[in-house]
Amino acid sequence: MAEGMIDLPLLRPMLATSSPPYDSKDHFFEVKWDGYRCLSYLLQNATTLYSRNGIDLTLKFPELAHLHLEVNSRPAILDGEIVALVEGKPSFAALQSRGRMQDRKAIGRACRIQPATLMVFDVLYADGKSVMNLPLEERKKLLVEMVKEEKQGEQGIVISQYVHQHGLDLYQACVSQGLEGVMAKKLGSFYLPGRRSTQWQKFKHTRQVDLIICGYQHRSAGGLGSLVLGGYQDNRLVYQGKVGTGFSEQEGEILLAALDKLAVTKETVQIPQKERRHTIFVQPLLVCSVDYLTVTTEGFLRHPVYRGIRRDKLPGECIVVEQQ
**Which of 6, 152, 110 minimizes the C-alpha distance to 143?**
152
What pTM value is reported for the model? 0.75
Per-position pLDDT tens, the chain of length 324: 454 455 799 999 999 998 999 999 999 999 999 899 999 999 999 999 999 989 999 999 999 999 999 999 999 999 999 999 988 889 887 888 888 899 999 999 999 998 999 999 999 999 999 999 999 999 999 999 999 876 565 558 999 999 999 999 999 999 999 888 999 999 999 999 999 999 999 998 888 899 999 999 999 888 999 999 999 999 999 999 999 999 988 889 999 999 999 999 999 999 999 999 999 999 999 999 998 988 988 999 999 999 889 987 899 999 999 876
Using CA atoms, how far apart are residues 320 and 147, in angstroms rounded to an integer?
44
Taking the mean position of all CA atoms in its chain, how far away is CA 187?
24
Question: Structural domain boundaries of the chain?
Answer: 5-204, 207-317
**Which of 206, 209, 217, 156 minimizes the C-alpha distance to 180?**
206
Residue type, 276: R
> Cα torsion for 277, 278, 282, 286, to the nearest 10°?
-150
Using CA atoms, how far apart are residues 33 and 80, in angstroms rounded to an integer?
9
Distances (CA, A) of 91 to 33, 35, 40, 301, 312: 10, 8, 21, 15, 34
Using CA atoms, how far apart are residues 321 and 294, in angstroms rounded to an integer?
10
- Please tell me what DSSP assigns to residue 73: S
Using CA atoms, how far apart are residues 97 and 228, in angstroms rounded to an integer?
24
Using CA atoms, how far apart are residues 185 and 137, in angstroms rounded to an integer?
10
207-317, which class in CATH? mainly beta
Using CA atoms, how far apart are residues 128 and 105, in angstroms rounded to an integer?
34
User: β-strands 15-18, 196-204: how paired?
Assistant: parallel
Residues 6+ apart with CB under 8 A from 12: 39, 52, 53, 54, 193, 194
pLDDT of 4: 46
Residues 6+ apart with CB under 8 A from 147: 70, 71, 72, 120, 157, 159
Q: Which fold has domain 5-204?
A: D-amino Acid Aminotransferase; Chain A, domain 1 (3.30.470)
pLDDT of 96: 80
Write the DSSP string, 260-272: HTTB-SS-SS---
pLDDT of 230: 98
Using CA atoms, how far apart are residues 244 and 192, in angstroms rounded to an integer?
29
User: β-strands 224-233, 196-204: how paired?
Assistant: unpaired
